[in-house]
Structure 1
């Protein structure tokens, strides 16, 4: 029992020490669940001031009578201001690709878009490895809709098409 406890204590010490020098994070945005979307992010430190992050999301969002089902891919570059990447205040330009099946009553089609924006955020990486990331900023997406069933084009809005606001709180682990 003492050996098991000693091994566990050593492992926790190693993990905590590594977390302070984290060069990677894996995070989820629990707020996205409020709009029936699941999102996960992977961030990798490139140097003391820059990291790259890739976000993947799957949605089943419904706006009024229009339902969107599909994926979004969001790469971003993070520039940390006065702190070392990956913990601190940052500015981040991002791109976004969306590929959705859109259903509006009996009408159905495919919507694909490309867009981008800019974020300002603050990320904390604690000694335990816990990561908290708070971010917000404007975005713009422009896409095309192609009907596969029916003739009516649905009203695509809510930041999916045109101007919107990207915001969130991501929680995760640094390693």
Structure 2
């Protein structure tokens, strides 16, 4: 019984020390993306004192009458913290990123389908704050460029679709995420 108490106390002490240290991992969500029927989650891991890697994933899907819209994307980025505390996951950062996106619009009545896909990248400037409780706030914005294609199936016509606005060409990537560091 003494060994169980001792091991439990040791584990609790290590967890408390890790929580006070801030941890080198974080999971974050973008609450504003829910207004666009999209779920957006990111995992960030400190890779050094003032650097981290983040991998973001999103999925979107909505059906209105006979039109069904869905899409997903993946966004890896590498962050360099240089302002504020200038420590990983706490301060001002610059981050180059890549992004792959794939969207589909389908008419369930006619079986027409249009797929948009793009690959691109850009750079962000952001500010991330980690509190002692583990909660985090991340604000960011920056330019992005994507190169996209359209593929139509059925009677849908590819020429009727304009895929500008962040899917093909220049755009702006902005966001607010809330998360927990562990």
Using the size of structure 1 for normalisation, the TM-score is: 0.82
Displacement of 1:157 in angstroms is: 2.9
In structure 2, the partner of 1:130 is 135
Larger Rg belongs to: 2
Residues 3-152 of structure 1 aligned to structure 2 (within 5 Å): 14-15=15-16, 18-60=19-61, 68-82=69-83, 83-103=86-106, 107-152=112-157
Could you tell me whether the CA contact under 8 Å between 1:72 and 1:99 is conserved in 2?
yes
5+ residue gaps, structure 2: 1-7
Displacement of 1:67 in angstroms is: 6.6
Deviation above 2 Å: which 4+ runs of structure 1?
10-17, 102-107
Render the CA deviation track for 1:106-158: whole Å, top value 9, x for unaligned.
54222221001111100011000001101111111111111122241222232
Question: In 1, distance between residues paired with 2:46 and 2:124?
Answer: 17
Question: In 1, distance between residues paired with 2:39 and 2:152?
Answer: 26
Question: In 2, distance between residues paired with 1:151 and 1:34?
Answer: 28
In structure 2, the partner of 1:4 is none
5+ residue gaps, structure 1: 1-6
Could you tell me whether the CA contact under 8 Å between 1:47 and 1:85 is conserved in 2?
yes
The DSSP-based 3-state class of the residue aligned with 1:58 is strand
Say which is worse superposed, 164-173 or 12-21, in terms of deviation: 12-21
In structure 2, the partner of 1:173 is 180
Q: 1:25 to 1:144 in 2, by over 3 A?
A: same
Displacement of 1:68 in angstroms is: 4.3
Question: In 2, distance between residues paired with 1:163 and 1:68?
Answer: 23
Aligned residues: 164
Return the structure number with greater relative CO, CA threshold 8 A, min gap 6. 1
Using the size of structure 2 for normalisation, the TM-score is: 0.79
